[in-house]
Chain A
């Protein structure tokens, strides 16, 4: 369960303070994937970062019952000069995975990301699709109650997209995905609820189609 309790979040800009959320209270349902919609800059990534515990609201509290992944984005947390393997190892080690278990996860990630020999090349030579695949694969190597997915599923090619869809289906029983995306097909297929961000407010749509409609009219 993820509870947002009277969350206010703003950023200072040269044109004054910009509020992406003001006094928002909401409880995400468990066992139902959430589609997070909103225009660029509406605060989708910020919300994911706050849930992930790496950004703090100006006021209010976020309570998470269960384990949460880091926000999986295209560029986040990867060092360009290091190989995919080294980046993978770093994430494993930080999560307390060493030795045989690390090698096992490494194997899974190399296989799942389908980046082949690129796994041993610096991440800076990757295409954005490859980066996304690696990032997604690393996250999938760990079991979390909540996965925070930031604009990553739209990037891969169709083969990979199908694969990640299958993976999401497989984990539906145990885990909840919160997916920020501009890919409406993805939202339709995967999510049972839509959360629309805009003008400092959070709007909830139990009907996914209605949510997508509202987003497209925004």
Chain B
């Protein structure tokens, strides 16, 4: 068979998709970091700097935070997953528009562009997470993990929520460019009520019920419950959060199918 032309069979289709996603990731690395002097070092430096600055501002070194957890460790387990979520939404949102010229090659589909970016974000922030927690531990904070797999799973689920929202936004920005402006305005303030700097336990009961609608808060509570030994009583509701992973994904994929033709045309 000739290279990359026919579209026979599911296995072949999957193969093409893997090739395209790999090619897009390599290309994204080049376009984002390839032209800088320190090149690929920026991949980690950028999010690391962000997290360090925020923990310095809010973390007041050495102070003991909620539930006797070292505050920098508490903040880090909030900020890093949050930043992953936020960049999944914002980078995902622009992925279709940014890769539009590449749809000239019909193997490249809008979803591939989104998946490639998402894989890259997840890899970057996973490494940042590990490096940062090891750093805290090296400096003398208590950053021991209770259940690494649980933390991983919960973090990836939060990324999945971000993926769904990013997907919906990416499709909607094509007919409605204003969506790209609105999404960050809506999502940024959620930062303050997601329990990055506080634990739900510290809040008065009336306030708890208000913030507990926020799915990101649930995800962070679940992540921390898996991370810290002394945080067993979590407010994170796995079932509630699961809906926020599944529903946006289904809605997003449906929209993608409906608007496919519009998305690839120039």
Are A54 and B4 interface neighbours, CB within 8 A? no
Answer yes or no: A52 CB below 8 A from chain B CBs. yes
Cβ 8 A contact of A82, one of B16, B30, B103: B30
How far is it, in angstroms, between the C-alpha of A98 and the C-alpha of B23 when the chains are bound? 10
Q: Is the interface of B mostly helix, strand, loop or mixed?
A: helix
Q: Which residues of A contact B19 (CB under 8 A)?
A: 93-96, 98
Are B104 and A77 interface neighbours, CB within 8 A? yes
Answer yes or no: B75 CB below 8 A from chain A CBs. no
Binary contact track A62-96/B, C-beta < 8 Å → 1, others 0: 00000110110101111101100010011101111
Within 8 A of B (CB), among A86-125: 86, 89-91, 93-98
Cβ 8 A contact of B2, one of A67, A79, A94: A67
Are B265 and A94 interface neighbours, CB within 8 A? no
Are B26 and A94 interface neighbours, CB within 8 A? no
Are A55 and B265 CB-contacts (below 8 A) given A81-B35, A142-B3?
A: yes
Q: Which residues of B contact A67 (CB under 8 A)?
A: 2, 5-6
Are A144 and B104 interface neighbours, CB within 8 A? no
Cβ 8 A contact of A53, one of B26, B34, B106: B106
Answer yes or no: B15 CB below 8 A from chain A CBs. yes
Q: Is the interface of A mostly helix, strand, loop or mixed?
A: loop
Are A70 and B105 CB-contacts (below 8 A) given A94-B19, A94-B20?
A: yes
Residue with the highest number of chain A CB atoms closer than 10 Å, among B23, B35, B102: B23
Are A77 and B35 interface neighbours, CB within 8 A? no
CB closest residue in chain A, given B104: A77
Are A79 and B31 CB-contacts (below 8 A) given A54-B103, A71-B104, A96-B19?
A: yes
Answer yes or no: B168 CB below 8 A from chain A CBs. no
Closest A-B pairs by Cβ, 4 of them: A95-B4, A67-B5, A93-B23, A77-B104
A residues at B contact (CB < 8 Å): 49, 52-56, 67-68, 70-71, 73, 75-79, 81-82, 86, 89-91, 93-98, 142-144
